[in-house]
Amino acid sequence: MSSSDVRVRFAPSPTGPLHMGGVRTALYNYLFAKHNNGTFIIRIEDTDQERFVPGAQEYIMESLEWCGIMPTEGPGIGGDYGPYVQSERMDLYKPYALQLVENDKAYYAFDTPEELDAVREQAKNMGMPNWQYNSITRSSLKNSLTLPADEVKRRLEAGDKFVIRMKMPRNEDVRFEDIIRGWVVVNTNNLDDKVLFKSDGLPTYHLANIVDDHLMKISHVIRGEEWLPSAPLHILLYQAFGWDAPKFAHLPLLLRPDGNGKLSKRDGDRLGFPVFPISGNLKDPKTGNMESFTGYRESGYLNNAFINMLAFLGWNPGTTQEIFSLDQLVEAFSLDRVSKAGAKFDPDKTKWFQQQYLKATSDEDLAQMLKSQFNLAESDEKIAQFCHLMKERATFIKDMMEEGSYLLNKPASYDEQTVSKKWKQDSAALMTEWKSRLEALSTFDAPSIETAFKSFLEEKSLGIGAVLPLFRLLVTGAGMGPSMFEIAAYLGKEECLNRMNDGLAKLG
Ligand code: GLU
């Protein structure tokens, strides 16, 4: 039950797959909401029909679900402030745009795209490449501020195409306090008259975003740094409507491992790591072609490891603790420990988190995961023992299978390096003797095997390095691996002795 007025939203546009930067935005919103006993909402911002990608919304929801950070209000979830998809709210925005025109905060503009292109071209030829529709240029353009009132009326009645633009005040400082960046001040002379309502009858992102944040009673807007330039316009829109603005927190960028620029899909492909939470196949809005991409889930990452890693990209707890469960993150998270500076993504650190989580997962849980990925004939108990043996040396579930294949099948070959370094003339005799000691054991568990092994070494006055590698070689075919006593116990006496016989026959 949420009992505070904290209401935050993740507001993705379904224009493609959710990049890990987007997941981090969702995560920080989730953590902030839960920490403050508030509500985490998802709103789909699909006002830009041209960039709409079928399946993207489903992809986003599935990603959040995998990450374990599901909102409590949103499409398919419910809530008192729906619908939560903007295309289902389309009729709602126009009256707000008209209200702004009415109050002289916005105006109708009738310039056609061709006319504006011509003006832009002309400005470019005169050495002004960044022409804008703004508080100066609007006075010479075709809008309700320059045209006579009756002509505006006639045009509107005749159904002429129009957009509604923000009437940006001239030379005013817009200031707001960003939770992460402190005071931000921008002069309106640097802002253009943004379109709020388009000629197709739909609102732009800016209008729909502000209206919905207001109607959904959003208390804090936590979003990526790329939206910082839009924030002054948003503040002005709140003022124009006479509404209280939410508090803003603009998150730092996710940077490439070398710190040079924003992390992109291309960097992931080049350096061999995923930049998306889950794999998928979606239309590229630019080319129209289907594009597939790889996710952390399919690359074998545990969701909690991914989340833990992501939480640290831009935030730190102020202590040396690095491993945090989702609940611990909720407990520890605060926006004032989010940094302004871009966060460098570190693929090695990501693997390290995964390793820690794999190691910390119970043998029984790992056994279930292994079973879901591989066809295994062994009992659950045996698979759990297998995981117990292999997890220390693995990063991913599949590593356990690759490295531990000798626990499931007899060795097909014997590690050449170990053979040439360790297998001497007297090795066969030594191993035959050790084999008979094993044969004589009445209890074949790891401690009994280890005790027998130690007395064998003592008797022979041999060091561990002279005997253990030979034993390992015969039983597993490998030069390295987990405890040989545990391996022998796992295989059982009969299998262990059989393998030793096979090895002795092959290596002589
Ligand atoms: N729809 C915007 C996006 O795709 C949301 C920006 C915001 O959170 O205000 O990121």
Please give the Cα distance from 150 to 144 (Å, whole number): 10
Under the banding of pLDDT at 50, 70 and 90, the label for residue 233 is very high
Q: Is residue 227 part of a domain?
A: no
User: Residue 479 C-alpha to ligand 1 middle, in angstroms?
Assistant: 54
36 lines ligand 1 (CB under 6 A): no
Q: Is residue 216 part of a domain?
A: no
Q: Which of 426, 428, 441, 417 is nearest to 474 (CA)?
A: 428
What residues are paired with 292 via a beta bridge? 281
Q: Could you write out the DSSP letters of every residue in 316-384?
A: --SSS-----HHHHHHH--GGGB-SSPEEP-HHHHHHHHHHHHHHS-HHHHHHHHHHHS---S-HHHHH
Quote the pLDDT of residue 209. 98
User: Residue 451 C-alpha to ligand 1 middle, in angstroms?
Assistant: 64
Same-domain check for residues 335 and 438: no
The CATH number of whichever domain residue 489 belongs to comes to: 1.10.10.350
Q: Is residue 330 part of a domain?
A: yes
Same-domain check for residues 315 and 375: no
CB 493 within 8 A of CB 487: no
What residues are paired with 282 via a beta bridge? 291
Please give the Cα distance from 379 to 402 (Å, whole number): 19
pLDDT, tens only, 357-399: 999 999 999 999 999 999 999 999 999 999 999 999 999 999 9
What is the average pLDDT value for the chain, to the nearest integer?
Answer: 96
Quote the pLDDT of residue 1. 47
CB 398 within 8 A of CB 404: no
Report which protein residue has its CA nearest ligand 1's atom 10: 12
Please give the Cα distance from 233 to 172 (Å, whole number): 12
Quote the pLDDT of residue 271. 84
Its domain, for residue 397, covers 362-404
Same-domain check for residues 329 and 300: yes
Under the banding of pLDDT at 50, 70 and 90, the label for residue 195 is very high
Three-class SS of residue 222?
strand
CB 233 within 8 A of CB 24: no
- Helices 94-102, 205-215: axis angle to 10 degrees equals 100
Buried b (16+ CB within 10 A) or exposed e, 268-277: beeeebbbbb
Quote the pLDDT of residue 298. 95
Question: Which residues are the active-site residues?
Answer: 265
Same-domain check for residues 99 and 202: yes
Q: Is the pLDDT of residue 160 over 80?
A: yes
Same-domain check for residues 109 and 36: no
268 lines ligand 1 (CB under 6 A): no
pLDDT, tens only, 404-428: 999 999 999 999 999 999 999 999 9
* Residue 223: φ, ψ to 5°: -150, 175
Same-domain check for residues 296 and 390: no
The CATH number of whichever domain residue 178 belongs to comes to: 3.90.800.10
Domain end position, chosen among 206, 225, 242? 206
Three-class SS of residue 402?
helix
Testing ligand 1's pocket by substitution, the residue of 25, 41, 45, 251 carrying the most ligand atoms inside 8 A of its CB is 45
Q: Is residue 217 part of a domain?
A: no
Same-domain check for residues 169 and 257: no
pLDDT, tens only, 23-39: 999 999 999 999 999 99
For the chain, the domain total comes to: 4
pLDDT, tens only, 140-153: 999 999 999 999 99
Scan for tokens 């009673």, then name that residue.
Answer: 217
212 lines ligand 1 (CB under 6 A): no
Q: Is the pLDDT of residue 199 over 90?
A: yes
Report which protein residue has its CA nearest ligand 1's atom 6: 11
User: Residue 273 C-alpha to ligand 1 middle, in angstroms?
Assistant: 25
Distances (CA, A) of 393 to 152, 308, 355, 470: 75, 21, 9, 21
Same-domain check for residues 342 and 281: yes
Same-domain check for residues 122 and 185: yes
Task: Give how far the C-alpha of residue 377 lies from the chain's centroid of Cα atoms, to the nearest Å.
Answer: 35
What residues are paired with 174 via a beta bridge? 186
Percent of the chain with pLDDT over 70: 99
Q: Is the pLDDT of residue 163 over 80?
A: yes
User: Residue 56 C-alpha to ligand 1 middle, in angstroms?
Assistant: 15
Q: Could you write out the DSSP letters of every residue in 33-62?
A: HHHTT-EEEE-B----GGG--TTHHHHHHH
Q: Is residue 223 part of a domain?
A: no
Scan for tokens 């709020």, then name that residue.
Answer: 196
29 lines ligand 1 (CB under 6 A): no
Same-domain check for residues 379 and 440: no
Quote the pLDDT of residue 3. 64
Task: Give how far the C-alpha of residue 57 lies from the chain's centroid of Cα atoms, to the nearest Å.
Answer: 15
188 lines ligand 1 (CB under 6 A): no
CB 363 within 8 A of CB 389: no
Quote the pLDDT of residue 269. 85
Same-domain check for residues 160 and 112: yes
The type of residue at 343 is: A
45 lines ligand 1 (CB under 6 A): yes
Q: Which of 224, 290, 299 is nearest to 269 (CA)?
A: 299
47 lines ligand 1 (CB under 6 A): no
Q: Is residue 84 part of a domain?
A: no
Q: Beta strand 220-224 with 247-251: parallel, antiparallel or unpaired?
A: parallel
CB 404 within 8 A of CB 386: yes
Q: Is residue 236 part of a domain?
A: no
Distances (CA, A) of 464 to 142, 188, 423, 477: 91, 78, 14, 18
pLDDT, tens only, 60-91: 999 999 999 999 999 999 999 999 999 999 99
User: Residue 323 C-alpha to ligand 1 middle, in angstroms?
Assistant: 30
Q: Is residue 474 part of a domain?
A: yes
Same-domain check for residues 96 and 195: yes
Q: List Cβ neighbours of 331 (8 Å cut-off, separation of 6 or more).
A: 35
Scan for tokens 């960097």, then name that residue.
Answer: 267
Tell me which of 333 and 286 has the higher pLDDT: 333
Three-class SS of residue 90?
helix
Under the banding of pLDDT at 50, 70 and 90, the label for residue 101 is very high
Give 461-485 as a 3 state SS string.
CCCHHHHHHHHHHHHHCCCCCCCHH
